[in-house]
Structure 1
Amino acid sequence: MAAALLATVLALAACDSRNISELEEGVSTEADVRARFGEPENIWDGPNRGRIFEYNRQPQGQKNYMITIGTDGKMSALRQVLTPENFARVQPGMMMEDLRKMLGKPAKVTPYALRRETEWEWRWVQPPNSSMVFTATLNDDQRVVRSGSSPDRGTEAP
């Protein structure tokens, strides 16, 4: 079973690389994006009335993509959002919805009823190839109280 899971993860990573190379900012259309990535996990309102398509690769993968479609129907940005720079932007008091829009759907959500907290976890790769887990802890008000990264003991980076 572990071998099948690894094969799936590697195939998905190879498909993403090929799909990304076939898209060009300012040229590729929404139809091009959907043809290569499929239906998005979520669609967010973006800046200047554009839209942001979320393509989640959790829990097996270690990337989440946000693809911005401008008001002209063309792709204006494609970015992998599970990065140290984005994690540094996560601050105490940040709302759950803002966290979700920035990082995408987490790999794992664990509620701790007695502590009245919920942990959200994302798997990611710290360059050059260290498997990591970023955890954001939210309180009952759905606001971040703390966050940080630690080594992912359950996987090896591709």
Structure 2
Amino acid sequence: MQRFSSFLPSRRLAGMLLAVGLLGLAACDPQAIKELEEGLSTEADVVARFGQPERVWNGEGGTRIFEYNRQPQGTQNYMISIGPDGKMSALRQVLNPDNFRRVREGMGVEEVRQMLGKPARQVPYALKREVVWSWRFMDPSENAKKMFYVVFNPEYRVIRTEVGADADGPDMQGGG
């Protein structure tokens, strides 16, 4: 029993360091964005400022879209488009009400992921036969952290969306 207790502080320390690192990444985003310019910045410039993307999507006309997530604790996810010429053609923060309105019933899980990036949480509700993905975002109308939820059926097709309180609130913990 004694030998395991010495493991716990180092595990706790690792968790705290990870959290501090994630916060540091989010704090660097405004500076990194300021240093990039559409049509001039290269793929190498983007990777130098944001790191390796979480995922790379194929866009139209040879464009590649780099996915940069700041979930689960951040309130932003970025999609950065790299044109066939190797230059950045767009940088978008995708967790916003306009983008949420584009999520429609019947959309597949990959379409939603490409639109919003990796979610903060993916929770299966076996009895309801649903899977709920959630993203933390900043609601500009209320200047408050909230959650955007996409509910999928067993075939991973959207059946509905919801906006609610931040999942770190006391009423949102646990599964169902």
Q: TM-score, normalised by structure 2?
A: 0.82
Is the 1:43–1:53 contact (alpha carbons within 8 Å) kept by the matching residues of 2? yes
State the alpha-carbon separation in 1 of the partners of residues 79 and 167 from structure 2. 27
Query: Is residue 143 of structure 1 aligned with residue 154 of structure 2?
Result: no
State the alpha-carbon separation in 1 of the partners of residues 52 and 22 from structure 2. 19
State the alpha-carbon separation in 2 of the partners of residues 141 and 106 from structure 1. 18
In the TM superposition, residue 6 of structure 1 has moved relative to its aligned partner by: 7.0
Percent pairwise identity: 56
Aligned equivalent of 1:134: 148
Aligned equivalent of 2:173: none
Return the structure number with greater helix share: 2
Aligned equivalent of 1:60: 73
Q: After superposition, what is the alpha-carbon deviation per residue over 1:28-82, rounded to whole angstroms, capped at 9, x for unaligned?
A: 0000000001100000001211100000000011110000000000000000000
In the TM superposition, residue 14 of structure 1 has moved relative to its aligned partner by: 2.0
- Structure 2: stretches of 5+ with no match in the other structure: 1-11, 170-176
Q: Which runs of 4+ in 1 moved over 6 A?
A: 1-6
Query: Is residue 25 of structure 1 aligned with residue 38 of structure 2?
Result: yes
Q: 1:41 aligns with which of 47, 54, 57?
A: 54
Q: Which structure ranks higher in relative contact order (CA pairs < 8 Å, sequence separation ≥ 6)?
A: 1
| Letter of the 1:134 counterpart | F
- Structure 1: stretches of 5+ with no match in the other structure: none
| Letter of the 2:144 counterpart | S
**38-47 vs 122-131, greater mean Cα deviation:** 122-131
State the alpha-carbon separation in 1 of the partners of residues 22 and 53 from structure 2. 18
State the alpha-carbon separation in 1 of the partners of residues 167 and 51 from structure 2. 31
Return the structure number with greater strand share: 1
Is the 2:26–2:70 contact (alpha carbons within 8 Å) kept by the matching residues of 1? no
Q: TM-score, normalised by structure 1?
A: 0.91
How many residues were matched structurally? Answer: 155
